[in-house]
Amino acid sequence: MAKEKKVFVCANCGYQSSSYLGKCPQCNSWGTIEEKILSSSASTTKKTILQTTTPQPISKIQYSESHRLDVKDTELNRVLGGGLVTGSVVLIGGEPGIGKSTLLLQIALNCNDKKVLYVSGEESLEQIKLRQMRMQISSENCFVLASTDVDSVINTAKELQPQMIIIDSIQTMTTQEVDSFAGSITQVRTCGDKLIDCAKQNNIPILLVGHITKEGSLAGPKILEHMVDTVLQFEGDKNYGYRILRSIKNRFGSTNELGIYEMTSFGLTCVDNPSKVLLSQREEQLSGVSICAALEGRRTLLIETQALVSPTYYSSPQRISNGFDIRRLNMLLAVLEKKAGVKVSNKDVFLNIAGGLKVNDTSMDLSVLSSIISSHQDISVNDKYCFAAEVGLSGEIRPVPYIDRRMNEAQAMGFERIFLSKYNKDNLLEKYNIKPIFIASVNDLIEELIK
């Protein structure tokens, strides 16, 4: 009879203890320690494919350029750094219903020159066929398997010899070697180990779908993100048609890349010129609207910032932001009131980034302030103006990098003036048709806007 052993495991980070703890000492989470029963009969497999027996001088190690597969998706190729590296494991996370399964099935169908194994642990074959019919894409090299047994999946892959494997999702995979339910920390970690070994030994790239928690982080043990080669985040607002694919971790490329998709009735389509799509076409000038030349990765996006400032009817004014950090918005409002004398402490402020995007570029500061000032004074910002600068706590306008990229994009979209920090004056490498307006403080911005 197999001997049982009790262990207490943190459901958040995977920390193990021999006794119960109220607070996990590794991730500092309360109430996440759960009791697990391990069987000594369960075999433990260790990865040996990447291990060597003797140390070697780094000068003697032979290097070969990694071969990349074209996944027939320009946005995913860009985020991955030029394609999918053979033998790599990519983890894609996102909210339920955001389009993860649609994206991966679309990739499997578009790669009709490669044999692809699509494994679904959440949907039946009929459901996958229905999605394929809606996409109106067909492929003879896409093989679909409905299974949750990771050992069966690996055996099928050895027989089929595919050039790419897609697992939807890693939380549904199980193995008989572990005595726990699907989605548990032990199951996810063990199944992840097996799939990574399969990818490295057979030189087959594997795409994994990962669920996320209510806090927005990837579900399961944190060690899973360390084990895989690339971690991507698929995000967006379900009320809008646009989706963003971000790179959180990439061992074979940059983590600053960004892919933009549009959800249609036929699936996801790549957005080649996001600035043209994100800018709204309006015939009259409205107050509270300005354009920012933001940089996401190596892509320059012209993003519309919308603000509404109105008298409050509550004891404390509301501060609501969609797509922009609410803490940074509060900081900018404090700078505006302290350094420029614009009283907003008794007003509600609502901020929205058009298109449902979430932007982290600090160059949005100047555009956000321009929209707030425009709404507060009820004056419109010229629709041929755009902004790109950071605002400091003392009210100074700070410079941002890659000004030439921002000016090129703004010029291509027909803008006539761009507001920059005066410290960017020496960074311009060439002359442009668009006229730069250099300002030093928030007061200079207000003077330019109310002319």
Kindly state the DSSP code that residue 234 receives in the 8-state scheme. E
- The shares of helix, strand and coil residues in the chain, as percent rounded to the nearest 5, are 30, 30, 40
Kindly state the DSSP code that residue 2 receives in the 8-state scheme. P
**Is 30 exposed, middle or buried (CB count within 10 Å of its CB: 0-12, 13-18, 19+)?**
exposed
What pLDDT is stored for residue 43 in this prediction? 43
**Distance (Å) of CA 7 to CA 16, 19, 67, 274:** 7, 7, 42, 51
What pLDDT is stored for residue 42 in this prediction? 43
What pLDDT is stored for residue 273 in this prediction? 80
What pLDDT is stored for residue 296 in this prediction? 80
Q: What is the DSSP string of 334-370?
A: HHHHHHH----TTEEEEEEEGGG-----TTHHHHHHH
What sign has the CA pseudo-torsion 46, 51, 55, 58?
A: negative
Distance (Å, rounded) from C-alpha 109 to C-alpha 116?
8
What sign has the CA pseudo-torsion 435, 439, 442, 447?
A: negative
Tokens, residue 385: 């103006």
Distance (Å, rounded) from C-alpha 447 to C-alpha 445?
5
Instruction: Provide the whole-model pTM.
Output: 0.75
What pLDDT is stored for residue 208 in this prediction? 94
Torsion, Cα of 68, 72, 73, 76 (10° steps): -20
- Residue-by-residue pLDDT tens, the chain, 451 positions: 445 677 888 877 777 888 888 888 887 888 888 877 765 444 444 444 566 678 888 888 776 666 889 999 999 998 998 899 999 999 999 888 889 999 999 999 999 999 999 999 989 999 999 999 999 998 999 999 999 999 999 999 999 999 999 999 899 999 988 877 888 888 888 999 999 999 999 999 999 998 887 666 676 667 788 889 999 999 887 777 788 898 989 998 888 788 889 888 888 999 888 877 777 666 678 899 999 999 887 788 899 999 999 999 888 899 999 989 999 999 999 999 999 999 999 999 999 998 777 888 999 999 999 999 999 999 999 989 999 999 999 999 999 998 988 999 999 888 999 999 999 988 776 778 899 999 999 999 999 998 7
H/E element, 308: strand 299-311
What pLDDT is stored for residue 215 in this prediction? 64
What pLDDT is stored for residue 101 in this prediction? 92
Identify the residue whose tokens are 């032990």: 186
Instruction: Quote the longest CA-to-CA distance of the chain.
Output: 86
What pLDDT is stored for residue 185 in this prediction? 80
Confirm if 289 and 380 have CB atoms less than 8 A apart: yes
For residue 185, the number of C-alpha atoms closer than 13 Å in the C-beta half-sphere is 20
What pLDDT is stored for residue 419 in this prediction? 96
